[in-house]
Structure 1
């Protein structure tokens, strides 16, 4: 899987306990309610764990917007990664059939359970304490998450490979990572991550969240994105696909011919071809073309000549992979 982008921001977001305001709340009421929350809100009593980069989201309007944009149905089971003290968990519970909250920090587990204790939402909440990457995820219809930035890529690809398929995921991520998810050919942010995610899903940018919405403020801006899986998924072996994409984007500004015609690449592809032939017990030795011959033939085609990975779109890459397969060249053995 592609690695997450360089991280300069928080590794984990935790939602504070200030409740969202209703549309008809007056300004005076808001000030009064904020003063009360300052004295009683659990996030003001809990010190963020900077060793895992916790930053409390303190703006209730952001929570409200995320809930609205998630499109939750009364029959939905929602997976919330990183519920924190439960500020978003409570409105999720009010909208959904059930919320499964996955939390690493035992302090936050206690806080979110405390938030719903002796309420009508208590029976609808299931809390799982564990690492989001290594914990097996249960069935869910929708995912809402403020995910640890340094494992953003791992979380996204775990979502994309999760079965049975879910309707969509609404995620808070580092702004640079969010822009990479939806970057198009020719844009500076266009990369291996962009191509791989867009092969499997549709990505929409929903909301920009400034650093001052958190306590303490992180060093980067954040964004909320919506990821909707393509159903049915494309008929592509992802390991094979990513083998090609990883290789081409290793030097995305070089021509395809230049990237592919290195000694290491030619050796790898020749070994793959030999392995696959042995596995299939192929006796077809009539083709005397080397992998280098095949690469030259493909890269000389008008649609690929002098082209670079940075300028190719999904259809181009899919056709390129097909052309390689037609010539017996594979990027994974």
Structure 2
């Protein structure tokens, strides 16, 4: 008889125990048929067992050695497809030899934002990402402009992905139960292949203004002009009516336009 894996607090492990929920999460990858699947943090394989019959290659990445040992014993057919690594340090180009894949998982809540930032670095390789995260995070990445949840990840993810909030999951279906509710999301690559602005600067602008989200844009953007020529007066630029807005009032496209105007002003 297989010995259960003990959930480890330092790895943020909360093992899903409801098989119906696990099957529903696994079915979210069907939006991208044929593509291979990479599951992050399979634990004891509750989601994996519903991915394996989908007639496509499935690989799992798991940093916990105890979980790896369990998976090898429970599903010997996974032997060559278990990657005992840290997902955040992996070169995703080598997972399926440079071929696109679907990313899924019951993601550790404390690193889910880092997982999505990494996904953005490999966006041309990941046309579809699904999985379970903290409900607050799910609301954040799916949020629309003008809402309290709209923030850094909302803008940066929605530039490249259409985000769907699929369903909510209660704490009681986990071992141990988390202190928060969870939610399942799906992100599908949109048809944008050029950012439309300096992408590095866009990230800096979005992070800068949302870190001071209660302030007007012209206040939180001032540091961008402090490093330019001392002889250059940016008063006219900073007095633009749009810069009296707060960051949550700008759409993703408006952030792209703002980034272009900032780059022109400081160059």
The TM-score, its normalising length taken from structure 2, stands at: 0.88
Tell me how far apart the structure 1 counterparts of residues 260 and 120 of structure 2 sit (CA, whole Å). Answer: 23
Residue of structure 2 equivalent to 1:322: 260
Q: 2:91 aligns with which of 136, 141, 151?
A: 136
Measure the CA separation in 2 of the matches of 1:64 and 1:125.
24
Provide the C-alpha distance between the structure 2 equivalents of 1:213 and 1:74, rounded to a whole number of angstroms: 28
SS in structure 1 at match of 2:125: coil
Q: Per-residue deviation at 1:289?
A: 5.9
Structure 1 residues 317 and 152, CA gap change in structure 2 (3 angstroms): same
Mapping of residues 159-238 of structure 1, within 5 Å: 159-162=119-122, 164-231=124-191, 232-238=193-199
Structure 2 residue matching 1:67: 3-state secondary structure: helix
1:135 is displaced (CA, Å) by 2.1
What is the Cα deviation at residue 305 of structure 1? 5.0
Tell me, yes or no, if the aligned pair for 2:129 and 2:188 is still in contact at 8 Å: yes
Which residue in the other structure is 1:83 paired with? 42
Q: 1:235 to 1:256 in 2, by over 3 A?
A: closer
Which among 230, 236, 242 is matched to residue 297 of structure 1? 236
Q: Secondary structure at the match of 1:71?
A: helix
Q: Shift of residue 229 of structure 1?
A: 2.4
Structure 1 gap ranges (5+): 1-39, 275-287
How many matched pairs? 261
Kept in 2, the 8 Å contact 1:173–1:223? The answer is yes
Q: Which residue of 2 aligns with 1:34?
A: none
Equivalent position of 1:312 in the other structure? 250
Q: Look at both structures and tell me which one has the larger radius of gyration over its CA atoms.
A: 1
Q: Tell me how far 1:96 sits from its aligned partner.
A: 3.4
Matched, 1:252 2:218: no
Give me the whole-angstrom Cα distance separating, in 2, the residues matched to 1:270 and 1:305: 17
Runs of 4+ in 1 over 4 A off after TM superposition: none
Determine helix, strand or coil for the equivalent of 1:147.
coil
For residues 218 and 78 of structure 2, the distance between their equivalents in structure 1, rounded to whole angstroms, comes to 60
Does the CA-based 8 Å contact 1:207-1:224 persist in structure 2? Answer: yes
